[in-house]
Structure 1
């Protein structure tokens, strides 16, 4: 568990990062993240599954199983909102809650599930303006976000691996996008047969920098939240991004590092012209990007598998 013993220095790299970027805890373990004072928190079935297996969170599992939740939610989905409720007591701003990944290719079902999650938060006494609805960035998921954002529902578009996905999310006015730094780097490591990239050449870092430059150059209000970090070098290279969602292990590492100059984001203008993608254009851009296609599909499969495992462990 995180405690005061982790703070070895007065002014840490984490303190310096907070001065440039909104720090988000990438965890469902609200007792663990409390020490690092994140502004937001983000969850997904994988994170909730890991937390739910710990005895310290058994009370939430029992609460989820105590009765049949309303609003067409399963006990597993109720557990997600219960973790979300607790996280709103730890962070001062947003908590992200993910729509079932098995709905990633069904626009209508995604919209209905998002509304059901928000209705359950209402019943739990959590204000809607504290919640980001997290949706996989398929074409169908992005269409769902278009409808939800028009209703005033803030969306966190997850599993971003390409500029095309980001462009489509920008065009529908998504509140937030989450490009996955580490997973992009993982793919290129395997493809290139290398063990390590310096931060300046890291494909995941370069992808987020490109997306961020595009958003800022063309005046989109959507915020860019870098996610899925593998090491602190990636984090320090992207200092200045709107937000970063960081695991407790890396938060602890940053908290024990001295505050030093960090390279941060390149603030130069984007070289990519502003484009608006229709469905065919989006499909072709994804087809033309093997990494993005493979990692999006893999991410959806993994979140769906963890959702099924969570349901199994809850006996539903």
Structure 2
């Protein structure tokens, strides 16, 4: 894959973030998501590749653009699969809370698990605890193993988990074991990435969240040599049928990060609101500043990019 595609992806996530940034805190998550999606779709068509959306905004009859199976790009020779979340944390954005991002990942054709829009149980850590996690083990056992790998006490660990009733027992066990918990309302891709940075204050991410977001998180972790395991959680027979239609036959399979996102993977994200990982869009007279991250698995290169956009020269925004 052309390494220049990595920086092209930053333009895509910047466009999405700038488009929905004006809607931060205005209480309309649908409008914010639509603005980000439109901008991302438009910008993708300026890139020289032949892309297919495999993780997107839903099925064709559910989403007008960036739907699963949609072709994007201007028809260049490079064939890639694309995973997108134009606005991860729509509620966060609408309420003006911290941690919403615009994100995208590329892989060679067939590189991403075609995960249906359903739940996935996940556990993720950074490179310093790679190989220590086991999704089949208890939260306490995982905390013990990660603390040993990081040469610290369990009390030193911070675990991020979505604030949902389904996690009440897990939260109670984590607290009983002695670790700290950071509960989040939405958006578990950014915390997974943060777990790969030693100074982020995030050591682990546990719990059940979206399966498409799990693929995006795995793409980022692969670029940073982190570790993740995921297992689909089926809530109905209809979901099993949908998964089967997307080529999934082993419903109990535990996926590694490499199985969720394989090959030469490129990942990019831009902050929409301020968070532990990225700063949000900041406006000034006549323009705005964005803060992004872009990485590639082949080289393990991780770049942070601060960009000043002048709207007189970018009337699209």
Compare relative contact order (CA 8 Å, sep 6+) and give the higher one, 1 or 2: 1
Structure (1/2) with the larger helix percentage: 1
The TM-score, its normalising length taken from structure 1, stands at: 0.24
The TM-score, its normalising length taken from structure 2, stands at: 0.24
Structure (1/2) with the larger strand percentage: 2
